[in-house]
Amino acid sequence: MNIQKTAAEETLGFMLPTRRVESFHYTDLRAMLRDLPAEASADGGDNGYTPLVDTHLVSFNDGKLSGEQVLPSGVIMTADAAKANSVDINDAIVAMNAVSAGDAVEFVISGDATKDKPLGLGHVSTQAARSGTYHKVTVKAGSEGHVIERHTSSGGVASLSTTVSELVLEEGAKAVWYIIQQENEAASRLARLNVTLEQDADLSIFVLNAGGKLVRQEIKVAVNGENANLAIRGVNLVGDNAHIDVTTVLEHNVPHTNAEELFRNVVAGDGHGIFQGQIKVAQPAQKTDAQMACNTLLLTDEGDFSAKPELEIFADDVICAHGATVTDIDDEHMFYLKARGIDEKTARALLIKAFVDEVVEEMEAGEVMEEALTGIIDSWLDENV
């Protein structure tokens, strides 16, 4: 193995994982990030970020806090928190984030101040440069937190943005967290969401990947409190030339917890999609109920999707199930729609949309958010299918 650091690694000060590192087998960062963009220059001006829906907005321009923040009394923000760091090769994204310029912001949510109007973390990359933002959100005991984390970039800009988010749900807290990625087709994005769930916590995560050139979204959840409940749902729309990797690690550490994971993916052109789903059930975590499903529609012969479920179970009284499917559009469904006069293109769009909209519906996001999400999906389908 070549142990000489690449120019990119000299800049970063650490080695990027190759495909020999199991968790990066399908996303060889060392090969893919040979040309590392320089750090973004300080700007922090108003970036004109347009929110998807009405939120208590905190926006970031190339990693720097931008504009003013007007937050309700139930949300306390601290602007210069410390970023996390790690020397574990599996945490390469965390390390990359630590050495990329960008703000670290901490929020503490109490009560239900974000219930009707969520906290919005809106990011724009405007430079072909590297940035790193860090968020920490704590939802206090018995409180409810709603967060929309969204990432966009100016047209054609080959940015490399990284984000590390930490989410802590205290006892009996409830949260809904959206990660909406709409980078342009030249932009790359590396992200990690670290979650800790305490007793009776209830978290629903929704991931929508609808853009980007190289994207890796990691979600790592430590289920540390009994009766905690977790749902992770997602839609990955993998366009031509895109490489989108979603890697999740769920650690069930205590008895009586539930987790449900569902991803629906659409691969167009010669896109590469990856889902790695690891579920670890520790010996004391009896009565864990963990379900994982990953279904892919592969629209072309050139595209591919790799799904890797991994179960590590040390408790003996658990229910764990996983399933992965990769299919093309069902010919019988196509024939039925065409036999009713619906042309091929419309019929395809109807069937693809049905396949992913089901996951959106399950979120029960409310009319406004649901329309916003299906709107993103519809315009992606228009452009890519």
Partner 1 sequence: MLEIKNLHVRIAEEETEILKGVNLTVAAGEVAAIMGPNGSGKSTLSYVLAGKDDYEVTEGDILFNGESILEMEPDERAASGVFLAFQYPMEIPGVPTMNFLKAAMNAQRKARDEAEYTTPEFIKTVKAAAGELNIDFNMLKRALNVGFSGGEKKRAEILQMQLLEPKLCVLDETDSGLDIDALKIVSDGVNRLRDPERAFLVITHYQRLLEHIVPDSVHVLYQGRIIESGDKSLALHLEENGYADVIARAA
155 touching partner 1, by CB under 8 A: no
Which residue number, 5 or 353, has a Cβ lying nearer to partner 1? 353
DSSP string for residues in 143-167: -EEEEEEEEEE-TT---EEEEEEEE
Q: Which residue has the tokens 């839609």?
A: 235
Which residue number, 34 or 338, has a Cβ lying nearer to partner 1? 338
> How many Å apart are CA 85 and CA 240, to the nearest integer?
33
Nearest residue to 195 via CA among 230, 236, 146: 230
Residue type, 380: W
Contacts of residue 211, defined as CB under 8 A and 6 or more positions apart, other chains included, come to: 181, 182, 183, 184, 185, 187, 239, 242, 380
382 touching partner 1, by CB under 8 A: no
Q: Least CB distance from residue 219 to partner 1, whole Å?
A: 25
> How many Å apart are CA 80 and CA 255, to the nearest integer?
37
Q: Which residue has the tokens 């769009």?
A: 349
Among 338, 366, 375, 379, binds partner 1 (CB under 8 A): 338
Site for partner 1 in 347-366 (CB under 8 A): 347, 350-351, 353-355, 357-358
Q: Least CB distance from residue 274 to partner 1, whole Å?
A: 24
Which residue number, 22 or 328, has a Cβ lying nearer to partner 1? 328
15 touching partner 1, by CB under 8 A: no
Stretch that binds partner 1, among 13-21, 71-79, 283-291, 328-336 (CB under 8 A): 328-336
Site for partner 1 in 296-315 (CB under 8 A): none
Q: How many CA atoms lie within 13 A of 359 on its CB side?
A: 29
Q: Least CB distance from residue 362 to partner 1, whole Å?
A: 11
CB atoms within 10 A of CB 178: 24
336 touching partner 1, by CB under 8 A: yes
Which residue number, 279 or 299, has a Cβ lying nearer to partner 1? 299
Size of the site for partner 1 (CB under 8 A): 21
Q: Give the alpha-carbon dihedral of 138, 143, 144, 149, to 10 degrees.
A: -10
342 touching partner 1, by CB under 8 A: yes
Site residues (CB under 8 A) for partner 1? 332-333, 335-344, 346-347, 350-351, 353-355, 357-358
